[in-house]
Structure 1
Amino acid sequence: MNLKMLCMGAMALSLMTAAALAGALDDPAKMSPFFTDAGMKTMRSADEFKAAWMAMKEEDRAAMMKECGDEAIAKEHDNFCKMTKQLGGAN
């Protein structure tokens, strides 16, 4: 019985860790305003991007900037992270 509980605990921990690793840049609801297509491949114009950026909560902008600070994440979201760095998180 203890082994079963240990396995269940390990599985729950791994599921929680996976959920914690999914950040703002992986949230379609947060990312879709920056793209013109459902597949999120074509970014909006700089003015539209800035408007969407400014419409976000400050904590969401901070989370995205933090994620873009990670080299691997920034490479995966290259154009998006370049735009956020150009805006500098400015208000």
Structure 2
Amino acid sequence: MNIKNIFLGAMALSMISGVALAGALDEPDNMAPFFTDSSMKTMKPEADFKAAWAATPKDKQDKMMKECQDAAMSKPHAEFCATLMAYGGANK
């Protein structure tokens, strides 16, 4: 019985922490406006990127900027974050 409780507790903790690790940069709805394709491999040109950034709600902009400034969070999105800092960071 005790092992079962430990296992269930560990499983619940891993599920909760897994949800906490997903951020604004991991949500397809947040990222799709910045890419030309559904696989999100090709970013839009500068003018379209800036327009998508301007259309993004302020709270999402803040979350995305914060995650791009965090080295660990931004690593999988390095190209996007570099572009965001170059174009979006100056317009904040």
TM-score over 0.5 for the alignment? Answer: yes
Cα distance between partner residues in 1 of 2:47 and 2:61: 16
CA deviation map 1:34-86 (0-9, x unaligned): 00011111100111111111111211111111111122443321221112112
Identity %: 49
Cα distance between partner residues in 1 of 2:55 and 2:9: 40
**TM, length-normalised to structure 2:** 0.86
Q: How many aligned residue pairs are there? A: 91
Q: CA RMSD in A?
A: 1.6
2:39 aligned with 1:39: yes
> What residue in structure 1 maps to residue 26 of structure 2?
26
2:85 aligned with 1:85: yes
Cα distance between partner residues in 1 of 2:28 and 2:43: 14
Q: Which moved more, 1:18-27 or 1:1-10?
A: 1-10
Q: Is contact 1:25-1:67 (8 Å) kept?
A: yes
**TM, length-normalised to structure 1:** 0.86
Q: Is contact 1:62-1:89 (8 Å) kept?
A: no
| Change in CA separation of 1:70 and 1:10 when aligned onto 2, cut-off 3 Å | same
Cα distance between partner residues in 2 of 1:10 and 1:75: 27
Unpaired runs of 5+ in structure 2?
none
* Bigger helix fraction: 2
> What residue in structure 2 maps to residue 62 of structure 1?
62
